[in-house]
Amino acid sequence: MTIRKAVLPVAGFGTRVLPATKAIPKELLPVVDRPALQYVVDEAIEAGIEHIVFVTGRGKGAIEDYFDLSFELEASLASKASKADILLEVQKTRLPAGGASFTRQQEPLGLGHAIWCARDIVGDEPFAILLPDVIVKAEKSCLAQMVEAYDKVGGNIIAVDPVPEERVSSYGVIAPKGERDGRLIEMSAMVEKPPRDEAPSNLAITGRYILQPEIFGLLSDQGAGAGGEIQLTDSMARLMDMQSFYAYEFEGAPYDCGSKLGYFNAVLAHAVDHPEIGDGARELLAKL
């Protein structure tokens, strides 16, 4: 079955980049000339996603406005021939009518709970999850690579990326087993935020998932796990006992925009490759 819907949890406070995120959703912080969230939505659309489900929270209304038609802005830009290029860019940010839903996670009970909040909107079909903290810079969008793999093997697929061992405790980590099939990896276990000496590998879950709808039933009775939160990883580990489940080591570079250094790295990487400011950005960096 085609992957038509993607869930983007955007309810988090952005505590790691406060005070920048006190009045602006962290997902709308700019990476060069567009919000971080735009890159993630573009990735989803490139992968064929037709409907985006945003799991939002209080104080996140600007996200809904961002993806809507801004009538006054577009009318003003349209009245000046010199603004035609900007108008085009602004128009590209609109999601198609009926192509987005917004639901609120009322309390910060964890990623698993945030995804569970989307259960009725997703319904009984396989779907994608993209965590907007992570921007993946790649030739072919990370989710598109996963959809291609899904078309071959079906089931459930999660993106993984090797991380330095001292950082494994910040992620969900998988235990690979058996031979690899290209970028697809079979697993025997997955664990959320393991202490470094208990991590089964250095392959970290990287914020992109294709899951079957049975995950929702498991999430509905999932107890609190790491950090006292309802963890998606814990329900996925249970789903793994029931259905086909692969990890996928994608091609591309992930940037964690939820941390100060990761965000700065994302800005630098996108600036030096930017068609308009790339050369200037390289010169500036060389000077620094």
One of 14, 25, 126, 172 touching ligand G1P (CB under 6 A)? 172
Total binding residues toward ligand G1P, as defined by CB under 6 A: 14
Pairing type for strands 184-192 and 172-181 reads antiparallel
Question: Judged by CB under 6 A, does residue 233 bind ligand G1P?
Answer: yes
Per DSSP bridges, beta strands 203-211 and 51-56 are unpaired
Which of the stretches 120-128, 174-182, 213-221, 227-235 binds ligand G1P when contact is defined by CB under 6 A? 227-235
Distance (Å, rounded) from C-alpha 81 to C-alpha 100? 31
* Smallest separation (angstroms) from ligand G1P to the CB of 85: 34
Q: What angle do CA 70, 74, 77 make, to 5 degrees?
A: 145
Q: Does 56 bind ligand G1P (CB under 6 A)?
A: no
Query: Given CA atoms 262, 263, 268, 271 in this order, what sign does their dihedral have?
Result: positive
**What is the total residue count of the chain?**
288
Among 67, 171, 216, 263, contact with ligand G1P (rule: CB under 6 A): 171
- Which of 208, 17, 239, 230 has the alpha carbon at shortest distance from 130? 208
Q: Which of 27, 133, 161, 234 binds ligand G1P (CB under 6 A)?
A: 133
The interface mask with ligand G1P, positions 175-214, x = CB under 6 A, is -----------------x-----------xxxx-------
Distance CA 180, CA 91 (A): 43
Stretch that binds ligand G1P, among 81-89, 129-137, 144-152, 269-277 (CB under 6 A): 129-137
List interacting residues with ligand G1P (CB under 6 A).
111, 131, 133-134, 171-172, 192, 204-207, 231-233
